[in-house]
Amino acid sequence: MTTTILEAHSVTKSYTIGDREVRVLDTLSLSVATGEFLVITGSSGSGKSTLLGLLSGLDQPTSGRVFLAGQDITDLSEDQLAPMRNALTGFVFQAFHLIPSLNAMENIMFPAELLGSREASSLAADLLHRTGLWERRHNFPHQLSGGEKQRVAICRAMINHPKILFADEPTGNLDSENGNAVLALLLELQKERQTTLILATHSLQIAEHAQRILSLRDGRWADTPDILQ
């Protein structure tokens, strides 16, 4: 039986610039099944990153509702959202967002330590071995290549075995070789752990692996994915 892990109902996101309202997302609705690999595509400025921010609880919609694992998270405070995000979700960004003052292993351990896990070190070590980064565990972000940084970011996002993983252009700053390696790692961990994966990209190569593709155009769902036209 298929269950739903994430829902958005008529979600809108607007910003006020001077006396003008800019609507980035316009009454979007979405339902995502547990374990699904969904790609959201669209050109730059179409609202992909904004949508991922709303779905993951990193931002709040101007109107509409977002439900994560059956709970309405729309009006929750940051103090309520932060532990929920850490326990239920992972996020991989295009720009990595590693903590500069922590080495690779410490970056990966950080979310588990926030949950009070006594296995943070062993969980991080296992991920470092699996991703070929064990020899780099004591290196700081500035000592890592782009591909290594993104693998560390993926390990960090997966250490708490999240129910849902968000990835925003995870290969956008990488060359094709490193991009392919990062994609393979994401898909391997997603399949092994049955994690729901929602990935924003403009890459046809990535989209071809998805179970479902949705395309944004000017803040609304488009009938035809832009990358497939």
Q: What secondary structure letter does DSSP report for 144?
A: S
Residue 72's DSSP bridge partners are: 67
Range of the domain at 97: 36-47+77-221
Which residue intervals of 56-213 are DSSP H helices?
78-88, 104-114, 120-130, 146-158, 176-193, 204-207
Of the listed ranges 29-33, 115-119, 150-154, 178-182, the one predicted with least confidence: 178-182
131 within domain boundaries: yes
In a domain, 140, yes or no: yes
Query: 198: which strand partners?
Result: 38, 166
Domain assignment of residue 12, yes or no: no
What is the H or E stretch that residue 50 is in? Answer: helix 48-55
Query: Which DSSP helix (H) or strand (E) runs through 11?
Result: strand 4-17
pLDDT tens-digit map of 107-126: 999 999 999 999 999 999 99
Match 């092994």 to its residue by tokens. Answer: 192
Residue 30 lies in a domain: no
The CATH number of residue 160's host domain is: 3.40.50.300
65 vs 151: CA distance, rounded Å: 33
Query: Which pLDDT score, from 0 to 100, does residue 18 have?
Result: 86
Counted domains in the chain: 1
Q: Answer yes or no: is 16 within a domain.
A: no
Structural domain includes residue 6: no
Digit-coded pLDDT (tens) for 188-216: 989 989 999 999 998 888 888 899 999 99
Within a domain: 88? yes
Structure tokens at 91: 């996020």
